[in-house]
Chain A
Amino acid sequence: MNKNQNDTLENQDIEIRLLVEAIYQKYGYDFRNYSQAHVKRRILNRFNLSGMKNIAEMIHEALTNTKFVDLILMDLSITVTEMFRDPVFYRELREEIMPLLRNYPFIKIWHAGCSSGEEVYSMAILLKEEGLYERAQIYATDFNPVIIKQAKDGVYPLNRMKEFTLNYMKAGGKNSLSDYYTIHYDSARLLDVLKKNIVFATHNLVTDGVFAEVNLVVCRNVLIYFNRQLQDKVIKLFVDSLPGGGILCLGSKESLQFSSHYSEFNPLLPQEKIYIRKVTL
């Protein structure tokens, strides 16, 4: 590659780092330890849509226009999700994990990075069908306030329900998914009985502390966006949220194996990335 291209590439990388730094200093959202390749793609994507001259101009816009920051926040969030995504995971949850939770008089669950809530309602349905919902308390958090609002609403495009229903059936669903929502024009609205024991809140895994002590942490497809150092920091947060015997579920391409906190857990269903916190004496 010639010197010119090398220069352009280098300058672009510097400007992107400065933009990320500016967003952190001004708004407290810390993307400094997210995957660099991912952040760069998303920011350049926004840049191409923005019609601005260079990234430096984006920095100024981000500092002075909160609407623009909201866009960048959305770009970097990647909120793609599904109900009963990875059906096998949910089947294992039903068959292997629910029997463990049954032993508790009161079950606390934390969905960290829950996006628009599909995953949380999937859990609520599972708990209902296993007769555990009434003694469960679910905390569902994400750092993106816009997406948390959507999660709270629990309204999804009707045309997604076919895919979700297929997942639900593969996951061993006991009823029909349509038992759990009502249809309004072209959207599906999850029933209030599912929402009753769910608390939705904003929480940033990078900058906030422990949310609550819980029996089960579900954090799927969030850590893949973080570098190793940040992954480690967030795992520590989960260590501190789970008592001995508490359960941690990660996404299907995420692993605890390389974390410095690996020794705090035993692999319970490693294939499905389900780990159990060791009992410390």
Chain B
Amino acid sequence: MKPYKAVVIGSSAGGLNALKVLFGGLDEHFSLPVIIVQHISPNAENYLIHILNEFSKLKVKEADEKEMPGTGMAYLAPPNYHLLIEPDCTFTLTIGERVNYARPSIDVLFETAAEAYKDQLIGIILTGANSDGSKGLKKIRDFGGLTLVQDPETAEVDSMPRAAIQADAADRILSLEEIAVLLNGISSGGVD
């Protein structure tokens, strides 16, 4: 089994509820850092962090520039900034143009994370109303990482997962509960 080093998650419309379920299902000792882009309005106060912290055994915080992701932690891209992963796996924040009409963009996180973590990365696309993240997820898959897509039938909004499946980016298509079980298994060294 590959020793995975991080999990990246992209979600958009309906993402808050999906993330609640997913985070609620993760074990207390979940060992991989989780890095999230949730599409959010540029002026949003970071209420998401507060809500997720209530549902999560991981500590959820906003990603700081140059920060190194660590165990037991989940990081959210701040509103209005792209979140990139450097070759040394630290965070970079930028305010470049929107990508897929989004800032933060899921593709930007996934593509840079794929290069940094190579095949030791797990990428997940959840509910959403656009196609951001498909390209990035495909890149993670091409580099040998593990890619999961929320089953469109179970997604609040199904376009984003459908786009990812269409792009041939999905290793597995699962419900939120199944994703949590799989991640717990990987974290505790069980199933791949």
Whole-angstrom distance between the Cβ of A78 and the nearest chain B Cβ: 5
Chain B, residue nearest A12 (CB): B115
Whole-angstrom distance between the Cβ of A134 and the nearest chain B Cβ: 33
Size of B's binding interface in residues, CB under 8 A: 25
Q: Give the residue of B65, B84, B87, B118 whose beta carbon is less than 8 angstroms from that of A41.
A: B84
Chain B, residue nearest A170 (CB): B43
Chain A, residue nearest B98 (CB): A80
Which B residues are CB-close (under 8 A) to A1?
A: 118-119, 142-144
Interface-forming stretch among B89-97, B161-169, B170-178?
B89-97
Interface size class on chain A is: 20 to 34
Contact A224 B97 (CB under 8 A): no
Query: Could you tell me which residues of chain A, from 12 to 44, have a CB within 8 Å of some CB in chain B?
Result: 13, 35-38, 41-42
How does the 8 Å CB contact mask read for B118-144 relative to A, with 1 for contact and 0 for none?
A: 110000000000000000000000111
Q: Give the residue of B78, B86, B144 whose beta carbon is less than 8 angstroms from that of A37.
A: B86
Chain A, residue nearest B78 (CB): A253
Q: At the interface, yes or no: B29 with Cβ under 8 Å from chain A?
A: no
Main secondary structure of the interface of A (DSSP, over half): helix
Whole-angstrom distance between the Cβ of B86 and the nearest chain A Cβ: 5
Which A residues are CB-close (under 8 A) to B94?
A: 35, 38, 78, 224-225
Contact B66 A37 (CB under 8 A): no
Contact A41 B86 (CB under 8 A): no
Chain A, residue nearest B66 (CB): A228
Docked pose: A5 CA to B84 CA in angstroms: 20
The residue in A2, A41, A221, A254 that gathers the most chain B C-beta atoms within 10 A of its C-beta is A41
Q: At the interface, yes or no: B112 with Cβ under 8 Å from chain A?
A: yes
How does the 8 Å CB contact mask read for B100-112 relative to A, with 1 for contact and 0 for none?
A: 0000000010011
Q: At the interface, yes or no: A9 with Cβ under 8 Å from chain B?
A: yes
Docked pose: A40 CA to B78 CA in angstroms: 22
Which A residues are CB-close (under 8 A) to B55?
A: none
Which A residues are CB-close (under 8 A) to B144?
A: 1-2, 5
Which A residues are CB-close (under 8 A) to B149?
A: none
Query: Can you list 20 residue pairs at the A/B interface with Cβ under 8 Å?
Result: A1-B142, A1-B143, A1-B144, A2-B144, A5-B142, A5-B143, A6-B118, A13-B87, A35-B94, A36-B87, A37-B87, A37-B92, A37-B115, A38-B94, A41-B108, A78-B96, A224-B93, A225-B92, A253-B64, A253-B78
A228-B66, A255-B65 given; name 16 further pairs at CB < 8 Å.
A1-B143, A1-B144, A5-B143, A5-B144, A35-B92, A36-B86, A37-B84, A37-B85, A37-B86, A37-B87, A37-B112, A38-B92, A38-B96, A41-B108, A78-B95, A258-B66
The 8 closest A-B pairs by CB, nearest first: A37-B84, A1-B144, A35-B92, A1-B143, A37-B112, A1-B119, A1-B118, A37-B86
Chain B residues packing against A (C-beta within 8 Å): 64-66, 78, 81, 84-87, 92-97, 108, 111-112, 115-116, 118-119, 142-144
